[in-house]
Chain A
Amino acid sequence: MKQAVFRRGIGGRAAALVILCAAPGARALDGPALAGRPVQIDVTNAGSVLYNADNRNSRPGSVVRRIDDDWGVFYNRLNVQASSGPFQLGLRLDSALFYATPDPTKVALDLTRERHGGALPDPVPGDAALFFVQKTTEASNELVTRYTSWTYPAKYYLGYSTPDVEATVGDFYAQLGRGLVLSVRKLDELSSDTTVRGARMTYKARVDDVRLRMTALGGAMNPLRFDEASGRYLGVGPGTTTGLLALTEAGMPRAQASPFESRPEPTYAPDRVVGAQIEGGPRVLQVGVQGALFDRTFTDSGTNAEAALSPGTVRSASRILNGSVSVAAPDLGGHGALYFEAALQNMTYPSVLSQSGRDLPDSGHALYASATVTEKPVTFTFEGKHYRRFYPLLANVNLGRAPEFSVVQYSAPPTAEAFWVDTEFEGFNTCVTGGRLRADVEVGGGSTVFAWLGRYLSWAESVANARCETGEQNENRVWDVASGAEHVSKNRKTRVSATIGGRTDDTPRALPHPEGGETHLFYQEAYLRYDVTTHLGGPFTLKLQGWDRRRHQTQGGIPDPWTELQHLFALDIARFTVGAGYEYTGNPQFPDHYFNGLFAYAINASSNVSLFAGQRRGGLRCVSGVCRVYPPFEGVRLDVTVRF
């Protein structure tokens, strides 16, 4: 796939495509027959036009915070699926076409002028000229990984499926165990969608009550290459596409060099994986054995030694072997369920590192358990974890050039926390013991009250501790408590939930307080979350959502506690939705207030159009322990999804 660069008339093309996308008449299409079987073709197109104005995060001298203003993109995802009998064929074609981009020279000039109070001094001092040269270099280097128009085959597959056999060639999602061994999937909240591009086969057998399922898979990892929040793309280079990877990377975005670089620096190198799973047993007790071997794709960036694009404890491992045994009792006679998994991880390093990297971990292990016990009206849920040197499989991404893609990982060890928790800092989950017990009590009328208590000890949160030494000098102690209530109306048209909770994270050892002296407090928070959907009668439905937090992070450079507010309001009127949002943060790293509005129209069950205008707060967003930092957004966004 060649790079598609459109510099003129892109706005017109984008508008035309959006109009095309918005054409009514969405339905699945019946195509020609194949070997006597009808072919059903399903086409879904999701198009977005975004314009990012000044998001108010600029800082003196910062290229990165200036260059994320005043850019626009038409981002289109075309999904075509065809199925006939047991066969399925699918293609997702992604296009990112930029119709407005910042100019690196102008960015450098603006920063230089601001450095001198708004205008260049007369005469111009030498240091101002050097500052300008450096900022031009920075801006040019930054732009080669952003705001570049691409059209590429994001996902494609050919599948064959019968009750006994499933086979896929191309892209597929995979999870082995509870995510400790392998977990590649879609996380819409984080704009992440990773697959394995290769082949997978699953065989299923059943004899009386005993079921058996065997899966084998292999291929190259394939994350989404475009990040719509930043306009950044992942580009492979010549050294990262040898052998099988030349095939799996055909048509994918390529790294480019800026005028200041002698060669393109790849921002992504696809790792390879082979994995297998056997699970089965009678209905009351399922046993699984699963394993995955990851083989890194290292490159020689000029030092005559092959290395990861961004070295690190996990990324520098040339091979990583994950394996686990799991036992599941999915139904305890209607009174609950049990799950237990024990995993091992072994990382192999290139000889140059293994001989000198005395602090690198050799092998790690993880124990994870969950249990649900129900005795109406009470349900207890417990999740526990005990991880030692057990790391998520971080993708081989160049963090300096594409930090937004640091979220890409190929496994997701369970956190045993609420899915929204974003306060497991640094390597918290790599060297940790803890668990959470939740109790739900049905109080009648569709209402439930609940509470939980979590206790975690981590030895890799306030100190880099690759070998997971579990002494007090490395320890962080966390209490996490919450309680709340949920209500669902009989007709299920009204749902209300509210949670109030807190978290405190301290250390046995004294930490330097940012304003002098010492403290044992590492982090503290109190919060309220609510989610209300209520049918008002007729075509009207009201939706309210909010998350208010009072936070204090003593080691984050903000000496005082700060408040964060997030409130969303929406009213459905038949097929129309109007909404408004307000966000606030007292964190001095970001602007204070954010306002936004939304208008949406549902064309039919699977087609809709929405217009968002306004501001959104930046910051860390996490889903089940996978986190990324979002920049603040300020601008307009039009989304049109149409299914034919």
Chain B
Amino acid sequence: MRGSVRTSLLALAVSTTCLVACGANNADVPDELLAAIPKGGGSDYPEGPYGTAAGDVVQDLCWDAWQNPKADGYDPARLRRLCLSDIHADRDARLLLVNSSAIWCVACRFEYGGSEGEDGRPSLADHLAERRDQGFRILGTLFQDGASEPATPADAAQWARLYAVDFPFALDDDHHLGLFTSSSIAPFNLLVDTRTMKIVLELEGDEPATLFGAADAFLKDAAAE
């Protein structure tokens, strides 16, 4: 988590102080837990303060993921650590879409699957192919299964294989994207400027016209810079 750790720790201290001052029934945080927070540094990832609203810099979240799911054969044993800082380091990237899906989510299936035909709905892969040369990237994540339990590597493999996902795809069993939205909501889409790592758009629900309208507007401005 590198730079984000300092901010998070500071925020935690602030939170704890506030809760005590406010008189709430605050739980004692074991010292060994606070001491175990890794001390980062040395990355060129943008420094905090980090936030969760549009315009804020997103913290350097990490997942177990396939960088190239198809090439990895959707094999759970080949999940590897993938962080936002890795995508930030991709100099060809300009705009990142982080998609949060769950197996219980009907609309998520149609985001991934699309529908065929002249007037059919493009899938996420179709949208990526159309904009990849402009620096558009997608990171798919799966956070819950059909019973709203945390997704497992096998669930991620089943989902990615079902939709033949060929862009980076992560298991979000800890639901890191819960920082931005409720776990009762899916799909959730986050657009991030990969140069500044600032949040461009947060979008609850399946709203492709709004999502890719905003993405195209950003990419157009970015190309004009």
**Residues on A close to B: CB < 8 A?**
7-8, 59-65, 101, 103-106, 109, 112, 120, 122-126, 128-134, 136-138, 140-142, 258-263, 265, 301-304, 307, 310-313, 316, 352-353, 355-361, 399-401, 403, 425-426, 462-467, 469, 471-474, 509, 511-512, 514, 553, 555-559, 588-589, 629
User: In the complex, what distance in Å separates the CA atom of A426 from the CA atom of B115?
Assistant: 16
Q: Is there contact, CB below 8 Å, between A137 and B146?
A: no
What are 24 A-B pairs with beta-carbon distances under 8 A?
A: A7-B22, A61-B174, A106-B26, A109-B29, A123-B32, A123-B36, A126-B38, A130-B38, A134-B179, A142-B182, A261-B51, A302-B53, A310-B202, A313-B210, A353-B210, A400-B188, A403-B184, A426-B206, A464-B107, A464-B206, A464-B209, A466-B207, A473-B117, A588-B146
User: In the complex, what distance in Å separates the CA atom of A305 from the CA atom of B206?
Assistant: 22
* A105 and B26 contact, Cβ closer than 8 Å, known pairs A301-B53, A358-B213, A399-B185: yes
B178 at the interface (CB under 8 A from A): yes
Q: Is there contact, CB below 8 Å, between B180 and A126?
A: no
**Closest 4 pairs (CB-CB, A-B):** A302-B55, A357-B213, A557-B146, A473-B117
B contact residues around A310 at 8 Å (CB): 202-205
Question: In the complex, how many angstroms separate the beta carbon of A414 from the nearest chain B beta carbon?
Answer: 23
Q: Is there contact, CB below 8 Å, between A474 and B119?
A: yes
Q: Is there contact, CB below 8 Å, between A59 and B150?
A: yes
A contact residues around B44 at 8 Å (CB): none
User: In the complex, what distance in Å separates the CA atom of A131 from the CA atom of B174?
Assistant: 8
B134 at the interface (CB under 8 A from A): no
Question: In the complex, how many angstroms separate the beta carbon of A259 from the nearest chain B beta carbon?
Answer: 4
User: In the complex, what distance in Å separates the CA atom of A62 from the CA atom of B174?
Assistant: 8
User: In the complex, what distance in Å separates the CA atom of A22 from the CA atom of B5?
Assistant: 54
User: In the complex, what distance in Å separates the CA atom of A306 from the CA atom of B213?
Assistant: 15
Q: Is there contact, CB below 8 Å, between A103 and B25?
A: yes
**Partner among B24, B176, B185 whose Cβ is within 8 Å of the Cβ of A134:** B176
* A133 and B8 contact, Cβ closer than 8 Å, known pairs A356-B220, A556-B146, A557-B145: yes
B225 at the interface (CB under 8 A from A): no
A contact residues around B19 at 8 Å (CB): 103-105
* A259 and B11 contact, Cβ closer than 8 Å, known pairs A105-B19, A134-B174: yes
B contact residues around A467 at 8 Å (CB): 209
Within B177-223, which residues are at the interface with A (CB < 8 Å)? Answer: 178-185, 188, 200-210, 212-214, 216-217, 220
Q: Is there contact, CB below 8 Å, between A61 and B173?
A: yes
**Partner among B33, B120, B121, B208 whose Cβ is within 8 Å of the Cβ of A129:** B33
Q: Is there contact, CB below 8 Å, between A129 and B37?
A: yes
**Partner among B22, B147, B185 whose Cβ is within 8 Å of the Cβ of A588:** B147
* A558 and B146 contact, Cβ closer than 8 Å, known pairs A262-B51, A302-B53: yes
Q: Is there contact, CB below 8 Å, between B118 and A471?
A: yes
Question: In the complex, how many angstroms separate the beta carbon of A303 from the nearest chain B beta carbon?
Answer: 5
Q: Is there contact, CB below 8 Å, between B115 and A474?
A: yes
Q: Is there contact, CB below 8 Å, between B37 and A126?
A: yes
A-B CB contacts (within 8 Å), total count: 270
* A464 and B110 contact, Cβ closer than 8 Å, known pairs A141-B179, A303-B55: yes
Question: In the complex, how many angstroms separate the beta carbon of B36 from the nearest chain A beta carbon?
Answer: 4
A contact residues around B120 at 8 Å (CB): 463, 469, 471, 473-474
Q: Is there contact, CB below 8 Å, between B33 and A60?
A: no
**Partner among A62, A136, A353 whose Cβ is within 8 Å of the Cβ of B217:** A353
A contact residues around B213 at 8 Å (CB): 353, 356-360
B contact residues around A261 at 8 Å (CB): 51-53
Question: In the complex, how many angstroms separate the beta carbon of B37 from the nearest chain A beta carbon?
Answer: 4
Residue of A nearest to B39 (CB): A126
Q: Is there contact, CB below 8 Å, between A122 and B32?
A: yes
B27 at the interface (CB under 8 A from A): yes
A contact residues around B109 at 8 Å (CB): 512, 555
**Partner among B149, B176, B185, B217 whose Cβ is within 8 Å of the Cβ of A355:** B217
Q: Is there contact, CB below 8 Å, between B26 and A464?
A: no
B contact residues around A62 at 8 Å (CB): 148, 150, 175, 178, 183
Question: In the complex, how many angstroms separate the beta carbon of B109 from the nearest chain A beta carbon?
Answer: 6
Contacts beyond the supplied A133-B5, A133-B9: 10 A-B pairs with Cβ under 8 Å = A64-B182, A124-B32, A130-B37, A259-B11, A265-B53, A355-B217, A464-B111, A464-B208, A473-B120, A559-B146
A contact residues around B18 at 8 Å (CB): 259
Q: Is there contact, CB below 8 Å, between A124 and B178?
A: no
Residue of A nearest to B56 (CB): A302
Q: Is there contact, CB below 8 Å, between A426 and B204?
A: no
Residue of A nearest to B114 (CB): A463
Question: In the complex, how many angstroms separate the beta carbon of A401 from the nearest chain B beta carbon?
Answer: 8
User: In the complex, what distance in Å separates the CA atom of A141 from the CA atom of B182?
Assistant: 10
User: In the complex, what distance in Å separates the CA atom of A356 from the CA atom of B218?
Assistant: 9
Q: Is there contact, CB below 8 Å, between B115 and A463?
A: yes
Question: In the complex, how many angstroms separate the beta carbon of A61 from the nearest chain B beta carbon?
Answer: 5
Q: Is there contact, CB below 8 Å, between B179 and A103?
A: no
User: In the complex, what distance in Å separates the CA atom of A312 from the CA atom of B12?
Assistant: 33
**Partner among A131, A136, A357, A400 whose Cβ is within 8 Å of the Cβ of B180:** A400
Q: Is there contact, CB below 8 Å, between A466 and B208?
A: yes
Q: Is there contact, CB below 8 Å, between A474 and B25?
A: no
Q: Is there contact, CB below 8 Å, between B27 and A103?
A: yes
Q: Is there contact, CB below 8 Å, between B204 and A589?
A: no
B73 at the interface (CB under 8 A from A): no
User: In the complex, what distance in Å separates the CA atom of A555 from the CA atom of B182?
Assistant: 21
Question: In the complex, how many angstroms separate the beta carbon of A139 from the nearest chain B beta carbon?
Answer: 9
Bitwise, B144-187 to A at CB < 8 A (1) or not (0) is: 11111110000000000011000000000111101111111100
B42 at the interface (CB under 8 A from A): no
Question: In the complex, how many angstroms separate the beta carbon of A556 from the nearest chain B beta carbon?
Answer: 5
User: In the complex, what distance in Å separates the CA atom of A403 from the CA atom of B205?
Assistant: 11
B contact residues around A556 at 8 Å (CB): 104, 106, 146
Residue of A nearest to B209 (CB): A359
Q: Is there contact, CB below 8 Å, between A558 and B184?
A: no
B138 at the interface (CB under 8 A from A): no
Residue of B nearest to A308 (CB): B210
A contact residues around B129 at 8 Å (CB): none
* A360 and B210 contact, Cβ closer than 8 Å, known pairs A130-B38, A352-B217: yes
B contact residues around A463 at 8 Å (CB): 110, 114-115, 120-121
Q: Is there contact, CB below 8 Å, between A301 and B32?
A: no
A contact residues around B110 at 8 Å (CB): 462-464
B41 at the interface (CB under 8 A from A): no
Q: Is there contact, CB below 8 Å, between B15 and A7?
A: no
A contact residues around B105 at 8 Å (CB): 557
* A312 and B52 contact, Cβ closer than 8 Å, known pairs A126-B36, A400-B185, A403-B185: no
User: In the complex, what distance in Å separates the CA atom of A359 from the CA atom of B49?
Assistant: 36
Q: Is there contact, CB below 8 Å, between B183 and A65?
A: yes
B102 at the interface (CB under 8 A from A): yes
A contact residues around B205 at 8 Å (CB): 310, 312, 399
User: In the complex, what distance in Å separates the CA atom of A361 from the CA atom of B56?
Assistant: 30
B67 at the interface (CB under 8 A from A): no
B103 at the interface (CB under 8 A from A): yes
* A512 and B12 contact, Cβ closer than 8 Å, known pairs A112-B33, A558-B146: no
A contact residues around B89 at 8 Å (CB): none
Question: In the complex, how many angstroms separate the beta carbon of B212 from the nearest chain A beta carbon?
Answer: 7
Question: In the complex, how many angstroms separate the beta carbon of B181 from the nearest chain A beta carbon?
Answer: 4
Q: Is there contact, CB below 8 Å, between B104 and A557?
A: yes
Q: Is there contact, CB below 8 Å, between A400 and B182?
A: yes
User: In the complex, what distance in Å separates the CA atom of A465 from the CA atom of B122?
Assistant: 10
B contact residues around A120 at 8 Å (CB): 30, 32-33
Q: Is there contact, CB below 8 Å, between B1 and A130?
A: yes
User: In the complex, what distance in Å separates the CA atom of A514 from the CA atom of B107?
Assistant: 14
Q: Which of A130, A401, A462: most chain B Cβ within 10 A? A: A130
* A262 and B210 contact, Cβ closer than 8 Å, known pairs A7-B24, A556-B146, A629-B184: no
User: In the complex, what distance in Å separates the CA atom of A353 from the CA atom of B8?
Assistant: 34
* A64 and B208 contact, Cβ closer than 8 Å, known pairs A303-B54, A469-B119, A474-B119: no
